[in-house]
Chain A
Amino acid sequence: MSATALHARTLAELADGLAKREFSSVELTRHLLGRLEAAQPRLNAMISITGEAALAAAAQADGALAAGKAGPLTGLPIVHKDIFCTEGVRTTCGSRMLGNFISPYDATPVAKLKAAGTVLLGKSNMDEFAMGSSNETSWFGPVRNPWNTDLVPGGSSGGSAALVGARLAPAATGTDTGGSIRQPAALTGVTGLKPTYGRVSRYGMIAFASSLDQAGMLAVSAEDCALLLGAIAGFDPRDSTSVERPVPDYHAALATPARGLRIGLVKEFFGAGLDAGNEKLLREAFAVFERLGATLEEVSLPNIGLSVPTYYVVAPAECSSNLARFDGVRYGHRCADPKDLLDLYQRSRGEGFGAEVKRRIMTGTYVLSAGYYDAYYLKAQRVRQLISADFARAFERVDVLMGPATPTPAFPLGAKTADPVTMYLNDIYTIGANLAGLPALSTPCGFVDGLPVGLQIIGPHFAEEKLLAAAHAFQRETDWHRRMPAEFA
């Protein structure tokens, strides 16, 4: 075995080690399960750890490897965000509402990664129904940041981010409705990709806001994101928003050099509100791209400043509709001794949902209610069109856009829970890509006072290859993405 500890390796390096019989999938799985269990009291990154099933899957993968029937992901351990239905496994979405829900089927990304031979270690903690930016709304308690456990890991894919950041597993799935992959990836020093709307099937992914939600992944490197995206992308007749379009070879696309890449720097992202330390690191990252032969130019997204208010009409409206399905009748929490059907609905929902989920359902109910629909909902949909058109205009001039993923590094637990708007503004740089349905990723680009900072790269629809190639080129020139928090090294 080489000097690099198993948990410090990327998926690509682990696949290489498995192929060369340096170690078995069972050995790797056992090692990571031990780390997950040991870190659980410190980080609370997991909701369920499925050790027995993982070891059985690893043994099966070792069989396939020995028989020469392995694929590129066979035997590689991963974790799924607990928003993805997983057959026979508790799937809670971070909510008391689904605290006892055992999924009878697999979400499509779960099924595809299972078929690819990956080993599921368990389900990661998350903000309740993916509504949060700090992983503090989970019914199962907050997740802590591995770089400093007094701080949040970001959210809503906070468990996935913390566990990859702490190298408890090499990769995890996530979902991104307003930044829920990129923001926690940035705050924990990992690489996170939100693909184009429609690129990855959402079948079996518990719905929050259907015109915004997209499945993606968090991993150590852009190369690993490319490997996973290749496995989960593609048309699925079970998702009516899934796009019929061939899946390119994302891994092969990584070789595309950054020379000649036209990079747009979003002017509006460098105003007041961006931490000076973050900005300095971003400017240094742009210089790396310039050195590689990319060109930089400033571009403007004039309406991007309205993306947070637009989102906080559209997302709650869709959430109030999607979460109407949780009625205490067919699955999920039911209150004790309902006196009639209305009481059953109201108390089951009142008890089953946490404070932030109720806040968003009520916001959505209000903006969709008679007399307010035009003023709020249609108005927001019109502004969404303007924001989307700004991006389209920018991409006539440049290949990708770059800017911050978050305004600041990770913040302390409890720092932003008193006023929801303060918390919502943490997603100011990420929401635009969701409103326009664009692919976007965050890659580590340095540290401020020992805390990781993310560089966000946004591309036109279905330009995942460009984003991944740009991030890969950057990660070959820098080692920020390989840094590990000392406590978990």
Chain B
Amino acid sequence: MSLDRADIENIARLARLALRDDEVAGYVATLGSILGLVGELDRADTAGIEPMAHPLAGLSQRLRADTVTETDRHALYQQNAPQVEAGLYIVPKVIE
């Protein structure tokens, strides 16, 4: 499986990553090399094998009562935000 510039630009767009022009060629080569490595999986016979999503078979997700357990600390958390006004996160206008 090989990739070209257009593939890398499309993947970067899906991943919301702005790439500089001079970065693209490197990713064409290295993602191609990684897909070559990953292609080795084709030699495994996995017919009838269940996909394994995590290592703790038999454990189910816990549920808890639907009650408030945390205090409101939004002012503290927003100290790390790039831009906040009146307790709201500010981003460029999305609706014209």
Contact = CB atoms under 8 A, between A and B. Distances in A.
Interface of A: 100-102, 104, 197-198, 210-211, 237, 240-241, 243, 303, 306, 308-310, 312-313, 320, 324, 327-334, 338-347, 349-351, 353, 355, 358-359, 361-363, 365-367, 369, 376, 378-386, 388, 419-421, 424, 435-438, 461
A312 B92 contact: no
B18 A350 contact: yes
Given A330-B89, A339-B92, A386 B61 contact: no
B41 A385 contact: no
B79 A102 contact: yes
Given A340-B92, A341-B94, A381 B51 contact: yes
B50 A385 contact: yes
B38 A309 contact: yes
Nearest to A342: B16
The 6 A-B pairs with the shortest beta carbon distances in the complex, nearest first, are A437-B55, A350-B18, A381-B51, A334-B82, A382-B46, A346-B18
B33 A420 contact: yes
Interface of B: 3, 8, 11-20, 23, 26-27, 30-31, 33-44, 46, 49-56, 59, 61-62, 64, 73, 76-83, 89, 91-94
A435 B55 contact: yes
Contact of B52 (A346, A362, A385): A385
Nearest to A244: B62
A435 B54 CA distance: 8
Contacts of A341: 91-92, 94
A237 B67 CA distance: 14
Contacts of A382: 44, 46, 49-52
A102 B51 contact: no
Given A312-B38, A329-B82, A350-B17, A344 B33 contact: no
Given A329-B82, A362-B17, A365-B11, A378 B51 contact: yes
A201 to B, nearest CB: 13
Contact of B56 (A198, A350, A380): A198
Nearest to A362: B11
A329 B89 contact: yes
A27 B75 CA distance: 38
A362 B31 contact: yes
Given A346-B18, A349-B17, A383-B41, A362 B27 contact: yes
Contacts of A241: 54, 56
Given A240-B62, A329-B82, A365-B14, A379 B41 contact: yes
Given A197-B56, A320-B15, A339-B92, A312 B44 contact: no
Contacts of B33: 419-421
Given A241-B54, A359-B27, A421-B33, A349 B38 contact: no
Contact of B44 (A306, A328, A329, A367): A306
B53 to A, nearest CB: 6
B41 A380 contact: yes
Contacts of A438: 55
B37 A421 contact: yes
Given A379-B42, A435-B55, 11 more contacts: A240-B62, A312-B34, A320-B15, A330-B81, A340-B94, A353-B17, A358-B27, A359-B27, A385-B52, A421-B34, A437-B55
B81 A329 contact: yes
A156 to B, nearest CB: 18
B46 A349 contact: no
B16 A197 contact: no
A110 B26 CA distance: 38
A429 B84 CA distance: 47
Nearest to B18: A350
B72 to A, nearest CB: 13
A385 B51 contact: yes
B81 A310 contact: no
A437 B14 contact: no
Given A104-B79, A329-B81, A421-B33, A344 B44 contact: no
Contact of A358 (B19, B59, B73): B19
A131 to B, nearest CB: 13
B15 A365 contact: yes
